[in-house]
Structure 1
């Protein structure tokens, strides 16, 4: 029986990189977590420990910091493309590169009623993500966000479901619906206004969550995805993951107090986990777009 080495890659995960633009009195900040992975004929490193074709992971880290200065960070998608293209085009024998980036948002401090030029507060909303792959199957960009916490106090139902001898959940036509959305979308092009599209995709998904009279979280995900694909022809598919953050009306009746869906216990686990892939008919092949490295984006 033969034993063979399968798919492999190596890189530097989670390099924390902060780029501050100081070329005017009003500074700008980009706060990233960058992971790199290289793919190619690196079998000898695994099988015999031969490092002659291995670009050190420390070098990959240094390249990210150097590019933050020399290339700048207009968007995390473009920054990822710059890094991946460099590793594939300039480093022999690299055949493919995967760059995964998380971006942490900041907002300007307000001092005496005005935005401060060089002080920020960390924003507590979602983490923006990008995953860039350059290799034999082409150039692929996946935009995304994670931990976008959403809650609406009505406009959600769950009824008519299958039941058996172990079913205890009551039907409801008025419930709190909450989630921490993880969304990733694959672009079919690299000629994209990255920041503008990201902002609009988020806006469209939030609108669907808010306005749809939801019969199930599954239905909400479908409407989120279709709204995005209808508005953005440059997006080929979305992959959505939504934990159902359950809120149960607390039993106050035992104390003689009415609770008309006003006081809840928020259960952090266990939780329902709803996932969906929503794809445009005739979308280009994904190639290696979804082959992860650190798995952070």
Structure 2
């Protein structure tokens, strides 16, 4: 977040790297939103279409450039992003001939449409993103070194969500508000469970989960979204943590508790409730039976 805010007002190209789902396009949109650029944010995935179509989409083409070309030509995405931002996702998939053409755009600040002879001046900020480590592609001869250094004037490496535990609560609150127009309804126990999930799908997985929880929550609203509701509406989280879908429910409760709740969390809830187990269970977002199981498990562990 700090680098996005720092780089947003500047005009230099930005290279964003990170695993699938880490929010590379979201970061690019935030860079554009925080800039002074008046034009559009235009995005394309360089690995999603063939080389010939990608060339026409990016650079555009002139009237009669090839058989079947649209009369009057076609404005490419580079031109469409005039005075704005062009986001090139999966830049490592850009074919070598198009890498050469893109390098010229960055160096000369002009674009030559396919079939044209006169270039068009452009004022575009380019932001590129890659799942792969571009430096490795350069060493393998699959990516132009000069283009790499042009793109990597400013760099942002997005860590996977499993390494960003402090951001999870903020992201959950953001998506509950964005997708459900509600403040985060998560109980303390449910939030702690989500903070300890490994999130292999990163921010995309988290967003999709919140969308699902919003649907269930609006159909069955309560004071807070409990750990038991989370287990019912998102069982895959518990399958991943417990590693066995078929273990009995009571054992699953105990195993989950060992993973998710510490003895201090239970004690703190009981202290706040002046020893009232019903209120403590409500604070933790679990049933009194589940709280009793946790207390029994902790007592057994302390005697061991």
TM-score range, shorter chain: under 0.3
TM-score, normalised by the number of residues in structure 1: 0.27
Q: Which has the higher strand share?
A: 1
Whichever of the two has the greater Rg, that structure is 2
The structure with the greater share of residues assigned to helix is: 2
Return the TM-score normalized by structure 2.
0.26
